[in-house]
Amino acid sequence: MGSYPSFTWPSAPRPLVALAPMAGVTDASYRQLLKEIAPEIIVYTELLSSDALYHGAKKTKEMLAFDPQRERPFIVQIFGKDPAHFLTAAKVVEQAGADGIDINMGCPAARVVSSCHGSALMKNPDLAAEIVAAAKKAVSVPVSVKTRLGWSDAETLIPFCRRLVEAGADALAVHARTYTQKFSGAADWEPLYALKDALPAVTILGNGDIMSGQDAVKKIGNLDGVMVGRATIGNPWVMREVVDAVSHSSASSAQPIFFEQKIPFILRHCELAVSLKGERKGMLEMRRHLAGYVKGIEGAKDLRAQLVRVEHIWEVEKILSR
């Protein structure tokens, strides 16, 4: 399966809106649902191990599956620390038909960082650059990097990103928090604007604390686009709001969606999950999303208690129809 020939980061329509890669969340069913709600967005896979792809791990290779009619542009995110493994993994990803490869240099999870993967690469710019160069050498599709402001402050952000670009990175997505912040405290977008000023020719996306279209308009500044992650869990409609808001530089037209209007989408998400993973596994993985969908509505606690035990779509339908 060949890749989508027209995708490059510089030619992708501005402003860009992307679904952030999230482990255990951005599988094919979620990506397809989000693309039905907001077809303009760029979607990323969950984090895939370059070591696992290098060794041909069946489960990881299965996570590369996507629907070329419904998920483009489709970016695969890989993590690891061995440039030789990245070289092979990048080839595997390109052969699977992806439109681009993204390298994770920002995940703050303890098990990832303790293996010198993810955020740990910010402390080793030589290795980080070597990894980008290896991936770039292996493929003809674009190679991008997702990272953070820095380890404990943003002092190294510009020199670190400059190294990545010199090594061949075509685009950068930056989570506006440091490694030590993890996901706590307010995201600081100011260093991202300085980064774009320093590297004006490079596509740069900002990520962190975008919970609404209004947030996106307020934060995008001089950047090429925004990336939205955790805010979509339980509220995938926020992507439509963000796309409309940044396209018109205004969030005033966002219409509230009532829970009754959401039910068909929730059931559609269940259908996608079951069709892709089978009923048992699909519904098991849907439980997390179902808990998110009812957050904040009246009687959410009771609904959640029921939804986290469902095994069939008809059960979801019955619970929500009440």
pLDDT in tens, 91-147: 999 999 999 999 999 887 766 766 667 788 999 999 999 999 999 999 999 999 999
Q: What is the pLDDT of residue 112?
A: 72
* pTM passes above 0.85: yes
Q: What is the pLDDT of residue 2?
A: 47
CA atoms of 278 and 280, how far apart (whole Å): 6
pLDDT in tens, 18-70: 999 999 999 999 999 999 999 999 999 999 999 999 999 999 999 999 999 99
Where do the domains of the chain lie, and which CATH numbers do they carry? Answer: 16-248 (3.20.20.70), 259-321 (1.10.1200.80)
Give the residue-averaged pLDDT of 195-211: 97
Closest CA to 29 of 290, 312, 226, 285: 285
CA atoms of 200 and 34, how far apart (whole Å): 30
31 bridge partner residues: none
Lookup: tokens for 76: 């695969």
pLDDT, averaged across the chain = 93
Q: Which residues of 132-169 are buried (b: 16+ CB within 10 A; e: fewer)?
A: bbbbbebbebbbbbbbbbbbeebebbbebbbbbbebeb
Distances (CA, A) of 78 to 34, 105, 146, 150: 21, 9, 10, 19
CA atoms of 161 and 24, how far apart (whole Å): 28
Catalytic residue among 107, 116, 161, 270: 107
CA atoms of 290 and 287, how far apart (whole Å): 5
Q: What is the pLDDT of residue 3?
A: 47
Contact predicate 263/283, CB 8 Å: no
- Told to judge if 161 belongs to the known catalytic residues of this protein, a careful annotator would answer no
pLDDT category, 253, cuts 50, 70, 90?
A: low
